[in-house]
Amino acid sequence: MSNKVALITGATGGIGFQVAKRLGEDGYTVVLNGIEDEAGAARVAQLQELGIEAEYYSFDVTDEVAVTSNVTKIGEKFGKIDVLVNNAGGLGGRSPMEEMTTEFYRFVMALNLDSAFFVSRAAIPFLKKGENASIINFTSNAGWNAGGPGAGIYGVSKGAVHTLTRALAKELAPAGIRVNAVSPGTIDTPFHAQIKETKPEVFASWKDSILLGRLGQPEEVASTISFLVSKDASFITAETVQIGGGQALGI
């Protein structure tokens, strides 16, 4: 069994799975979280075929009780957690604030902010037992530019994740735990599959706002995270790394 353990939330597809794969290749035992159990089993099988030690835990990251129970089980099983990647999250839908229901507001905040807080809180006692332990959160350009039409509350939630990252970094530095965030730009994942199929011209136009003239690949997010959790990044904490090909500048 590997002596390094990484927990990745929302890891049954897209960026989360590529992060799990890359960390597995780096020598971690990877623990995938998700709520799509068939996909979870398939992803674990894929990783195991590559010689990566992998497990899957099914729980909803917005459910405080389920998070605490499962993260504690994981930590107790391995005796520690070395890396936590809070990848789970999402847009949740779109709504102008004037018409926004309180239910929708709370759903989006729970999906992006509560999830990162709940999982981090539960993992901290086990991260304290880890080696070169670190947390990686996911924020977004929307955390700075307040999001596109109807995505204002998504921007609010991701802005809060940016601040949560810095607050955790301050609090956990004395324990030697580093906390950073990544802010992916437009990444070519199944997340965009519907618009890619139904409005290919819109999908193609997205690259026009990116300085490097193309969309990012999930592997490029994974490789950045691989660096941030490594000893090569041992003096980096409280930072947010933009992975957007210059998209944040806008052109």
Show which residues are catalytic: 154, 158
Q: Which residue has the tokens 């390094």?
A: 4
| Rounded CA separation 131/2 (Å) | 13
Nearest to 179 by CA among 84, 48, 80, 73: 84
Write down how long the chain is: 251
Give buried/exposed letters for 78-100 (b at 16+ CB in 10 A, else e): bebbbbbbbbbbebbebbeeeeb
Q: How many helices (H) and strands (E) does the chain have?
A: 10, 7
Whose tokens are 């709940």? That residue is: 118
Nearest to 54 by CA among 74, 79, 76, 73: 74
d(CA 84, CA 116): 10
